[in-house]
Amino acid sequence: MLFFADDAIVFRPHPVNYKEAMKNAPPLKNPLETTLDWEPIWADVSSDGDLGYTTGPSVWIDHTPAKRPTYYGFYFSFWRKQPSGEWKVVFDVGTELPGQYGGSRVLGSPASRRPASPPPKLSRQESQSSLMDAERSFLATVREKGFVKALGEFLERDGRVYRQKSFPIVGIDSIRVYFSRKPYLSSWEPVQCEIATSGDLGYSFGSYTTEGGPGNLPAEKGYFLHGWKRGAGNQWKLIAEITSPLPPETPKSKQ
């Protein structure tokens, strides 16, 4: 909890304050019974250096005689620099992988694309409104032109998509191929966003629904995190999308 901000948000499975969710958790009898390791392999920070994100593989191991199955995951965390100068997590989410991550572990970052002009100087409220406008425009374009066309308009070329039981899908071409076989979000509703002081990096989160897809894939509801960055034309571009589905609803028994 030391590295989480007081207002940090996680999905459990609904959005909750992390410290509030953890304060009543019983202490571990032996903290060494399990280990959770993770490492960043991709990161970026706003131009003013007060908001950034890291993402990479994680692994949870049970060292008790029960030997519960090892959990392989991929995390995505947004960090904000505190008034004290410390970096603390303000949003943390992750997905389960189908197996151990075997890709490169060399830390990388997006190619620098300096805008033709500095981001517009907006108030905090105006910056948040501009990001929410981008969310609504993205959804409207998906509905009007389809996801493939919307990708070309809103997705950064090295954007990343995270889904449960899948390795991260990286790059616009790989994402197009992935969603040629899987349904994309049918609808979503952002409820909150945060922006760097410089107005060039931010994130939003909210609820989503996905209609059933080919092969009788079931419909899905859950929550999403979107990472956004202003592109060369000062347009907001989607750099990451992570979904956290809710457990399937239990059918109501007949009275």
User: Which tens digit of pLDDT belongs to each residue from 179-190?
Assistant: 998 999 999 999
Rounded Cα distance, 228 and 160, in Å: 11
Nearest CA among 128, 146, 130, 149 for reference residue 185:
146
Residue 235 or residue 241, greater confidence? 241
Residue 29 β-bridge partners: none
pLDDT at 214 over 70: no
Distance of CA 233 to the CA centre of its chain: 24
pLDDT at 164 over 50: yes
Residue 115 or residue 45, greater confidence? 45
Of 102-111, 115-124, 141-150, 242-251, the poorest mean pLDDT is in 115-124
Give this prediction's pTM: 0.91
C-alpha count within 13 angstroms, C-beta hemisphere, residue 42: 18
**Residue 255's pLDDT band (cuts 50, 70, 90):** very low
Residue 192 β-bridge partners: 205
The pLDDT of residue 188? 95
Cβ neighbours of residue 1 under 8 Å, at least 6 residues apart?
18, 19, 22
List, in order of start, the domains of the chain with CATH numbers: 4-96 (3.10.450.50), 124-245 (3.10.450.50)
Three-state DSSP state, 102 = coil
- Other Cβ atoms less than 10 A from the Cβ of 247: the count is 8
The full length of the chain comes to 255
Of 46-60, 112-126, 147-161, 240-254, the poorest mean pLDDT is in 112-126
pLDDT at 251 over 70: no
Mean pLDDT of 80-86: 95
Rounded Cα distance, 220 and 241, in Å: 16
